[in-house]
Chain A
Amino acid sequence: MNPTINEAVLAAEAENREFLVFSLGEEEYAIDILKVQEIRGYENVTRIANAPDFIKGVTNLRGVIVPIVDLRIKFHLDNVEYGGQTVVIVVNVADRIVGIVVDGVSDVMTLTPEQIKPAPEFGVTLSSDFLSGLGSLDDRMLVLVDIDKLLTSEEMALVDSTRKA
Chain B
Amino acid sequence: MDITDFYDTFFEEAEELLADMERHLLDLDVDDPDSEQLNAIFRAAHSIKGGAGTFGFDVLQKTTHILENLLDHARKGELALRADLVDTFLEAKDIMHEQLDAYRSEQTPDQEAFERICRTLQQIALEELSSGTLEPGLAASEASAPVAGEQAPALSQASELAAPVDDVTSAGSDAGCLVVTLLNVGDKDRTLLVEELEQLGTIQSQSGDEKRYEVLLQGDVSADDIEAVMCFIIEPEQIEIRPAAAPAVAPASGAPEAAPAPMVASEKAPVSEKKTTAADTKASEKKAPAKKAATESSSIRVSVDKVDQIINLVGELIITQSMLDQTVSEMSEQAGASSGSLQNGMSLLQRNARDLQEAVMSIRMIPMEFVFSRFPRVVRDTASKLGKEIELITEGKSTELDKSLVERITDPLTHLVRNSLDHGVELPEVREALGKPRTGKLTLSARHQGGNILIEVKDDGAGMDRDRLLAKARENGLSVSDTMSDEEVFQLIFAPGFSTAAQVTDVSGRGVGMDVVKRNIQGMGGRVEIQSKKGEGTNTRIVLPLTLAILDGMSIRVGGETFILPLSTVLESLQPAKDDMYAMAGDDVVLKVRDEYLPVIAIHEVLDVENAITDPTKSIAVIVQGEGRRYAMLVDELVGQQQVVVKNLEDNYRKVPGISAATILGDGSVALILDITGLHRLSRVKKEAGKRVNNPSFSFFKEAEPS
Contact call A48/B664, Cβ cutoff below 8 A: no
Residues of B within 8 A of A157 (CB): 654
Most-contacted residue by chain B among A44, A49, A97, A98 (CB, 10 A):
A49
Contact, CB under 8 Å: B607 / A60:
no
Within 8 A of B (CB), among A119-165: 157-160, 163
Contact B651 A65, beta carbon cutoff 8 Å: yes
Known: A46-B561, A49-B606, A58-B653. A65 touches B658 (CB 8 A): no
Whether B626 is near chain A, meaning CB under 8 Å from some CB there, is no
Query: Known: A46-B671, A49-B606, A50-B682. Contact between A65 and B654, CB under 8 A?
Result: no
Q: Which residues from chain B contact A46 at a C-beta distance below 8 Å?
A: 561, 662, 669-672
Binary interface encoding of chain A residues 38-61 relative to chain B, with 1 for a CB under 8 A from any of its CBs, else 0: 000000101111110000011110
| Chain A residues whose CB sits within 8 angstroms of the CB of B658 once the complex forms | 49-50
Known pairs A63-B312, A63-B319, A65-B649; A50 contacts B608 (CB<8 A) = yes
Most buried by B among A50, A59, A98: A50
1/0 contact trace for B674-689 toward A, CB 8 Å? 0000000010000000
User: Known contacts being A63-B664, A163-B654, is A50 close to B315, with CB within 8 Å?
Assistant: no
A interface footprint on B656-670 (CB within 8 Å = 1, 0 otherwise): 111100101000111
Name A46-84 residues within 8 Å CB distance of B: 46-51, 57-60, 62-67
Is there contact, CB below 8 Å, between B652 and A160?
Answer: no
Q: B607: which A residues are within 8 A, CB to CB?
A: 49-50
B653 and A158 contact, CB distance less than 8 A: yes
Nearest A-chain residue to B664, judged by Cβ: A60
Bound complex: CA of A13 vs CA of B300, how far in Å?
49
Q: Which interface class (under 10, 10 to 19, 20 to 34, 35 or more) fits B?
A: 20 to 34
Q: Give A47's nearest chain B residue, CB to CB.
A: B561
A52 to B697, CA, bound (A): 25
List of A residues within 8 angstroms of B664 by Cβ? 60, 63, 65
Question: How many whole Å from A156's CB to the nearest CB in chain B?
Answer: 10
Among candidates A44, A66, A96, residue contacting B668 with C-beta atoms closer than 8 Å? A44
Q: A46-B670, A96-B652 are in contact. Are A65 and B561 (CB under 8 A)?
A: no
How distant is B28 from chain A, measured CB to nearest CB, in Å?
A: 50
Interface size on A, residues (CB 8 A): 25
Residues on the B chain within 8 Å of A64, using CB: 647, 651-652
Q: Which of A12-32 contact B (CB under 8 A)?
A: none
Q: Mark A79-123, 1 if CB is under 8 A from B, else 0.
A: 000000000000000001110000000000000000000000000
| B668 contacts A58, C-beta separation under 8 Å | no
Closest to B681 in A: A165
Q: Which residues of chain A have C-beta atoms less than 8 A from B652's C-beta? A: 64-67, 96-98
- B650 interface contact, C-beta 8 A: yes
Contact with B659, one of A44, A48, A160 (Cβ below 8 angstroms): A48
Q: In chain B, residues 547-581, which have Cβ atoms closer than 8 Å to a Cβ of chain A? A: 561
Residues in B whose Cβ lies below 8 Å from that of A51? 656
The residues of B that contact A59 with a CB separation of less than 8 Å are 669-670
Known interface pairs A44-B669, A157-B654; A49-B608 also in contact (CB < 8 Å)? yes
List, in ascending order, chain A residues with CB within 8 A of B648's CB: 65
Partner of B649, one of A47, A50, A58, A163: A58
Report whether A96 and B651 are in contact in the complex, using a CB–CB cutoff of 8 Å. yes
Provide the bound-state CA to CA distance between A64 and B309, in Å.
12
Docked Cα-Cα span, A2 to B647, in Å, equals 57
B312 to chain A, nearest CB (A): 6
Within the complex, what minimum Cβ distance (angstroms) separates B316 from chain A? 4
Which B-chain residue is minimally distant from A161 (CB atoms)? B654
Residue on A nearest B649 in the bound complex, by CB: A65
**Alpha-carbon distance between A57 and B649 when the two chains are bound, in angstroms:** 11
The answer to whether residues A49 and B609 also contact, given A58-B653, A66-B652 and a CB cut-off of 8 A, is yes
The reply to whether the CB of B104 lies closer than 8 angstroms to some CB of chain A is no
Contact partner of B657 among A44, A50, A57, A65, CB < 8 A?
Answer: A50
Question: Is B655 close to A, CB under 8 A?
Answer: yes
Inside 8 A of A65's CB, which chain B residues have their CB? Answer: 647-649, 651-653, 662, 664, 670
Q: Tell me the minimal C-beta distance from A165 to chain B in angstroms.
A: 9
What is the CB-to-nearest-CB distance from B644 to chain A, in angstroms, rounded to a whole number? 12
- Alpha-carbon separation in the docked complex, A49 to B686 (Å): 12
In the bound complex, CA of A92 to CA of B650 (Å): 15
- C-alpha gap A47/B657 in the complex (Å): 14
CA A63 – CA B652 in complex, angstroms?
Answer: 12
Distance between Cα atoms of A59 and B650 in the complex (Å)? 13
Known contacts A63-B316, A63-B319; A48 and B672 CB within 8 A of each other: yes
Q: How far is the CA of A63 from the CA of B669 in the complex (A)?
A: 10
- Bound-state Cα–Cα, A29 to B606, Å: 37
A2–B138 Cα gap in the complex (Å)? Answer: 74
Interface residues of A (CB under 8 A from B): 44, 46-51, 57-60, 62-67, 96-98, 157-160, 163
22 residue pairs bridging A and B, Cβ less than 8 Å apart: A44-B669, A46-B561, A46-B670, A48-B656, A48-B659, A48-B672, A50-B657, A50-B658, A51-B656, A57-B670, A59-B670, A60-B664, A63-B316, A64-B652, A65-B647, A65-B649, A65-B662, A65-B664, A67-B652, A157-B654, A158-B654, A163-B654
Given contacts A58-B649, A158-B654, could you give 5 more A-B pairs where the C-beta distance is less than 8 Å?
Answer: A50-B656, A50-B658, A57-B670, A98-B652, A160-B655
The 8 nearest A-B residue pairs measured at CB: A49-B607, A160-B654, A46-B670, A67-B653, A63-B316, A96-B652, A44-B669, A65-B662
Q: B residues within 8 Å of A by Cβ?
A: 312, 315-316, 319, 561, 606-609, 647-659, 662, 664, 668-672, 682
